[in-house]
Amino acid sequence: MDFDLTDEQRLLKDSVDRLITERYDFESRNKYRAEPEGWSRALWEQYAELGLLGLPFPESYGGFGGGPVETMIVMEAFGRGLAVEPYFATVVLGGGLIHQAGSEEQKSALLPQIASGEALLAFAHVERQSRYDLANVTTRAHRADGGWRINGEKSIVLHGDVADQLIVSARTSGSPSDRAGIGLFLVDAKDVTRRGYPLQDGLRAAEVKLDDARAEPLSNPEGALSVAEQVVDAAIGALCAEAVGVMQSMHELTLDYLKTRRQFGRPIGDFQALQHRAVDMYVALEQARSMALFATMMAAEEDPAERRRAITAAKAQIGRSGRHIGQEAIQLHGGIGMTMEYKVGHAFKRMTMIDIMFGDAGAHTEELARLGGLFGT
């Protein structure tokens, strides 16, 4: 047990932190969001140069052989800056699926392209009725002309509006909630109809319609659910790290505000009731940070049940801490916190969306309860 970063990790952290500090102040972020795709292609190139886009892939695929800790470092920094680039969609989810489920050929073709910034990916799994259940898939894939074709509709595909390739979950057999009979397919974005739109937090997504779209299976087309779950669990760990960055940013903004805003002749941070609430926010932040570490530690755990218990507990904690910190951050800021002109409200919205993604705190607490909890079982 050792919480210290290695020299390489320290170097990585310093460079990402510097990037975010220098290039991701609130005004810059507003500029990036105003660009045509809603994020910065220039920064994306810089991420590629820094090696961030290939970070988690083996060196043989143009990557840097990083693990969950490296991803955590990057995601937490992105969280602090409320970065809007499609890193999570392309590298963590898309790259993760290719890396874990793809054939040698697919990996060799796609991972270097991701690492260099040439290819953007997106994971199309949500359907209108699916809520947070990866197994709830009605989109269907069938064989045709020696290949595969997909029919169906996918919803809220994160950064699906810009992705070059989509990874689509589709049913090859069975009925909507069966665990068996689900495949993951690579689909070229040119072969689908899509409609992009902003999400509540300023990131973007797309509705995707697949009308006999040509598809190439990743992994086993009949039984890809468990590999999808594994990648999603690791991605949730990354999302937890991002959330910690978002929370820390909200807490720091609140502290700054308490120290500088004056009312009744003194900084409002002099008021003990507000001090104690800032402390409770801090405790919630540290609890969240601890669980993000726990998720990172367990992201590569081989026993899927153990992994799931840890990930679901972490996501629940992140959701609860994030809600508490976000709501208190707005409240302690007062009116200014409610405006688009100030960063804290944007962080609150990002945090709210992170809570929803892959299941909110309530859904994960419910799942953990079903799995028997964490202790003494």
User: Using CB under 8 A, which residues numbered 297 to 336 contact another protein?
Assistant: 297, 313, 316-317, 323, 327, 330-331, 334-335
Nearer to a second copy, 340 or 369 (CB): 369
Pairing of strands 147-158, 140-144: antiparallel
Burial class of residue 142 in the structure, from the number of CB atoms within 10 Å of its CB (0-12 exposed, 13-18 middle, 19+ buried) = middle
CB of 262 to another protein, least distance (A): 8
75 binds, among another protein, a second copy, none (CB under 5 to 8 A by kind): none
175 binds, among another protein, a second copy, none (CB under 5 to 8 A by kind): none
For residue 263, the SS3 value is: strand
314: phi then psi, degrees, rounded to nearest 5 = -65, -45
Closest C-alpha to 330, from 314, 316, 318, 346: 346
143 binds, among another protein, a second copy, none (CB under 5 to 8 A by kind): none
Nearer to another protein, 172 or 365 (CB): 365
Nearer to a second copy, 140 or 277 (CB): 277
CB of 329 to a second copy, least distance (A): 18
Map the footprint of another protein across residues 24-63, applying CB under 8 A: none
**How far is residue 34's CA from residue 40's CA, in Å, rounded to a whole number?**
9
- The residue range among 16-24, 52-60, 101-109, 367-375 that interacts with another protein, by the rule CB under 8 A, is 367-375
**How far is residue 77's CA from residue 366's CA, in Å, rounded to a whole number?**
30
Nearer to another protein, 46 or 290 (CB): 290
Nearer to another protein, 147 or 372 (CB): 372
Report residue 286 as tokens. Answer: 């540290």
Pairing of strands 266-267, 165-171: unpaired
The residues, ordered by sequence, that sit 6+ positions from 194 with a Cβ below 8 Å of its Cβ are 157, 160, 161, 206, 207, 208, 209
Nearer to a second copy, 10 or 262 (CB): 262
**How far is residue 92's CA from residue 79's CA, in Å, rounded to a whole number?**
14
190 binds, among a second copy, another protein, none (CB under 5 to 8 A by kind): none
Q: Which residues bind a second copy (CB under 8 A)?
A: 271-273, 275-276
Nearer to another protein, 190 or 273 (CB): 273
372: phi then psi, degrees, rounded to nearest 5 = 95, 5
Map the footprint of another protein across residues 246-275, applying CB under 8 A: 255, 258-259, 261, 263-264, 269-275
**How far is residue 17's CA from residue 73's CA, in Å, rounded to a whole number?**
9
Q: Is the separation of the CB atoms in 115 and 159 below 8 Å? A: no
CB of 71 to another protein, least distance (A): 12
Per-residue mark of binding to another protein, 121-140 (x: CB under 8 A): -----x-xx-xxx-------
Map the footprint of another protein across residues 165-224, applying CB under 8 A: 177, 195, 197-200, 205, 207
Maximum pairwise Cα distance, the chain: 78
Rule CB under 8 A: choose which of 54, 56, 160, 337 binds another protein: 337
How many other β-carbons are positioned within 10 Å of the β-carbon of residue 282? 16
